[in-house]
Amino acid sequence: MLLKHFQKTVAPPDLRPYPLAFHFSGPDYHDTGHVDMWAPYLHRAQVPWFVICREENHYASLNARGITAIFAPKEADLRRLVPSHLRAVLYANNGHRNRDMITAFPDATHVQMLHGDSDKPPSYSLLTKSFDQVWVAGQIAIARYAAHGVMIPLDRFRIIGRPQAENLLRGPRRRAREALTIGYMPTWLGYSQTTRFSSLELAPHIIAALGQITPRPHILFKAHPLSTQSTTMHPIVKAIAAAGGDMIAPHTPAADIYNRADVLLTDLSSTMADYLYTGRPQIVTVPQGVDIADFPSARAAYHLKGAADIAAIMAQISTDDPLQTARIALREQLYGAGLDGPPDAPFIAAVRALVGAP
């Protein structure tokens, strides 16, 4: 019914001037976050681009916001609706429908960007070998593929930094004699054991332990959008209230939390890598049975193995912060291309080069 409404009210776009497409499929996603995070920088590149939506709800959402999009649920729809002159296609996840697009348009350049940089399996997937180019934040991402046996020729990689970091404030946030503000952003529970790094089930205990610290830090808790329906959320809400913290709406931009926090508490995820850009301390939970040595992006973070450790870690951070030097060095490796000059410049240059724009 929704699709019929849009067919009647939205004229099919004329895609002849568009050399660039963004292929997006996320049947389990409630929003178009993977597109939204790249859209502002694609607009700045001043290259005509449009989104190929494989699910109806995403097509409707983007159209409603004025982003040029088409709905192509089947491979036959791709061949029918997408112009044959298309030069390049961007992707931001490992969705299984990506293969349809690669197969339908073998002469286009297919580029995997993903939607974050982390040490989790999606960031070194074998599926990445299917792409003509792989755009990454920095050298750590390139090394990660090889470390996990995913051998991709080096000339397929392009370092683009992290344009989304432009809204992050670098350096200390706290004013004198003010209690620390700690942002707590656990990842979601995941579909499988290989990506199950969430501390959500332990969160009430961690929050209670933070509430016992003197002076008590101000906690900003932001759940992953996919966690909002979890049965674990009710005890978390109670714990935050008891600790005098704030529950932040799940769809609040992560940068809002990063910029308010003196310290970030998170899980093994791209959130950890994003916050590293600020240079401020972070605490990363370590699930039982996980070898933290397998996660290079966490080597400059304080490792939390249980709620009982939180007081000692916070004491270290509040005094000499012994990981500060290691943190800055790691940031250089992770964001080398985006630390000098505007963070979006490497990405914009890459997009324009991709379609042959001067």
Q: Is residue 176 part of a domain?
A: no
Is there a domain that residue 196 lies in? yes
173 in any annotated domain: no
- One domain for residues 309 and 350: no
Residue-wise pLDDT tens digits, 226-269? 777 778 899 999 999 999 999 999 889 999 999 999 999 999 98
Number of separate domains in the chain: 2
Residue 209 lies in a domain: yes
Over range 271-300, report the average pLDDT: 92
Q: What would the pLDDT profile of 188-199 be if each residue is shown by its tens digit?
A: 776 555 557 899
Whichever domain contains 39, its CATH number is 3.40.50.11720
Range of the domain at 332: 181-337
Same domain? 245 vs 142 = no
Regarding whether 157 and 37 lie in a shared domain, the answer is yes
Same-domain check for residues 284 and 211:
yes
Q: Is residue 100 one of the residues assigned to a domain?
A: yes
Please tell me whether residues 33 and 48 are part of one structural domain: yes
- 157 and 198 belong to one structural domain: no
Per the confidence metrics, is the pTM higher than 0.75?
Answer: yes
For the chain, what is the mean pLDDT?
A: 91
Do 30 and 108 lie in a common domain?
Answer: yes
Within a domain: 215: yes
What is the per-residue pLDDT across 5-32, written as a single tens digit (0 to 9) for each? 444 445 568 998 999 999 999 998 889 9
229 and 91 share a domain? no
Residue 175 has pLDDT above 80, yes or no: no
- Output the 3-class SS for the chain: CHHHHHHHHCCCCCCCCCCEEEEECCCCCCCCHHHHCCHHHHHHCCCCEEEEECCHHHHHHHHHCCCCEEECCCHHHHHHHCCCCCCEEEECCCCCCHHHHHHHCCCCEEEECCCCCCCCHHHHCHHHHHCCEEEECCHHHHHHHHHCCCCCCHHHEEECCCHHHHHCCCCCCCCCCCCCEEEEECCCCCCCHHHCCCCHHHHHHHHHHHHCCCCCCEEEEECCHHHCCCCCHHHHHHHHHHCCCEEECCCCCHHHHHHHCCEEEECCCHHHHHHHCCCCCEEEECCCCCCHHHCHHHCCCEEECCHHHHHHHHHHHHCCCCCHHHHHHHHHHHHHHHCCCCCCHHHHHHHHHHCCCC
Rounded mean pLDDT, 281-303 = 93
| Judgement on whether residues 130 and 272 belong to the same structural domain of the protein | no
Q: Has residue 101 been placed in a domain?
A: yes
Question: Residue 174 — very low, low, confident or very high, per pLDDT cuts 50/70/90?
Answer: low
Asked if residue 160 and residue 234 are part of one domain, the reply reads no
Residues 209 and 231 in one domain: yes
The answer as to whether 252 is a domain residue is yes
CATH number at residue 246: 3.40.50.2000
Instruction: Judge if 269 and 202 occupy the same domain.
Output: yes
